[in-house]
Structure 1
Amino acid sequence: MRPQVTPETATDLAIAHWHLAGPLNCTQLDGYDDRNYRLTGQDGRSWVFKIHNAADSLPEAQFAEAQNALLGLLVAAGFAVTAPLPLQGQQHRANDSFSDGFTLRVRGEDGTTHAARLLTWLPGDVLETVEQSAALYKELGGVLGQVDAVLMGCDLADRYPALRRKFDWNTMQLPATYARVREDLLRGAGVDVQLLDQVVALFDQATSAADGQLRRSIIHSDANERNVLANGAAAAAAAAAEQRSAASDSSAAAAAAATGGSLITGLIDWSDACLQWLAQEPATCAAYCCLLPAYINDPLPAAAAVVAGYERELPLLEVERRLLRTLMMGRLALSLALGAQAAALQPDNAAYLLQTQKNGWRLLRLLADMSDATFAAAVFPTHAAE
């Protein structure tokens, strides 16, 4: 269950503990198991007030502190991510905030304690709302490659055990997670358990055999169509150029420059960030881009664009390339399984929780029926030709 914190309470907390000037307009944002509000002041400035689910709010786990440290590192490196804002004033009791000075403990209406943070608001359009193109996906892959190149060299996973946690949305835990929820799925409508059984078994076998050869790093882990911000005007120009069969790296860059910036303007919602296989980053992003309506009838060019952009910044190892189809299927299976289970428990949030279901089964069947050679020829054309 998501945190039971009302818009009125969120607004009062932001004014009292972060000294935002009221009155504030408060709008609820989409979320999986956290409660997120957009706060907007009279001067037009906006912030995100994030209330974490109970599991991520345990003070001894330091999950919120880990999130703040991770975002602080990326902000310092120049990436467009939401930045945590420090608590203000001296009124905080020791049992009210974590030691980092950015996180407040609040109680929901049901008495549950939650970690709350105030984050900067990033401008831009959510990826799923802009014109889609291979140029857009290639730039997104490149941004993820740049981010991961920085995260590979950091020590945050050593300093914060929360970033090494085993939780449902860490795709490395797919076999265990699926085994736990499978019985619930058998009772659900529209769930192809036989297909999930097949995919999870393949995933378990393939990743177990290659685990020692796969690099690990902290990654965003959830670069989907709702967690990426884009420049809508630049995206439209790039898509138009592509439709005229004139798209290229230079034309995409020109389209972005003509509208005042890059195609990708931000990465948001780092709640799933954790230490896992590095190759899961482009695999997850590619899977979600393939699900978008613009590419669902011919999805592999979308995956190829994401991977090409990623490898431009951070080349994959050959073993990582060989496993990319399996990693994509693993993420899809995880999203389909957990989405179906969560929707049954949260019917009021079902539309958000089931967003992968619409095209997810179709894409998962396509990938499951495809050979590694066919996948490689489409996604890694240069390597397949060698």
Structure 2
Amino acid sequence: MMLTSRKVFVWFIFPVVCNYWLLSEAVTTIQPLHLEVFVGENAVFECNIDTLSSTSMWKWFKGGSNIIAMEDLFVTSGYEVKISNSRTTSTLTILNTTFEDESVYTCQFGLSSPEATLIINGGMRLDSMYPQCDSDMTSINTEKTAHLRCSAKGGDPKPDLQWYRNGIKLMENNDFLNTETLSYFEGLTRVLTIDDEYAVFMCKAEGPAADENQSCQIQLRVPPDVHIFSNATAFKSGDLELTCKTMSPWKITDYIWTINNELLIFSELKYILKNDGRGIEIFDVNHNYNILIRCDVTTSSGLVGSDTIEIKHEDETSDDPTDLILIVCLSVGMFFLGLCIGILVKFSKLLKPFTSFCMNKTDSDQDTSGNQETSTAEPCYQNTIIENDQTVSGEMAYSGLVPTTPSIYTELNQIKVNE
């Protein structure tokens, strides 16, 4: 069958029209639509198409009309263009931006030409080490509150510091600027709930001077503070009552008691569990050694706090150590007191003759001073016997211990008369 000229024309023109329609309907997108960078940083734009045509080429324009790059032909100095292997993506990089680079940039593929705007910021980017987070963990158990602090330094324009809890914004930004150090912070004081045990608090720096992921985090996983209180620190025999007191804002799920590293079995009659495990009572405690008692406390998220005390054993028949020490001290004191008294008595006996001599000597000196005619003191005792014209004289002195008696002088005078 022969085709008419009209039919041939239709079949010829139809592919051309379809190809033109496909090119005109090719979807091209550019990202980001609005980009702000600081002076000296690189600016990057990316274009993507849905429909690929082998007859079209990638082109980039600045200011809407100034062509700066064409696929496989040229790239103007100061720019860099990359095209994916599938040719569905083209990336433009503006190197080491200056204020002259601030403009509108267009990517073109076929008949589609999306545009994006570049803004050059003359400020300063926030250092990547900021923001920094810290918290007063000591107040979590004692006051059941958390004091969180987020700080940063630098950045122009100054970024906002914003708190998030598990990705949800907590409050509006309310930072404080110190004009001397250009540092600022965002404080958060929160009364804790049980749910905060699992929560992650994040402080994020937001604004042109900060990167998208510039943030810091705090997780308030603080173990409970545990203390054991006992009705006695030492025992002879009897009962013991112990209480495991806990300070924590978290939910306590379990109390575990051990004695000398052995788990308490509360099915035994000598142990009684009280107040949901917080307290125990031990009956008929009578051991010959000290015992170590430990209480472990577990929270709903698995945090563990513990405390251990030692209960000392005392022998029931033994004396009180305080009384024993007192008796020993008194005995030693009495011994030294008696020793001192004996030494004083012995020493006084040795000094008695010397003391008597000194007293007589003093009396003699007083008599001499009263009688000027007496030049020498008489001996305490003198006896003279004259026999056959020979005189035998004997003298005995007692250092003034025995005074001379008148009877002795009478006897001496009688002997002289008889002669």
TM-score tier by shorter-chain length is: under 0.3
Q: Return the index of the structure with the highest Cα Rg.
A: 2
Higher RCO (C-alpha under 8 Å, 6+ residues apart): 1
Report which of the two has the higher share of helix.
1
Report which of the two has the higher share of strand.
2
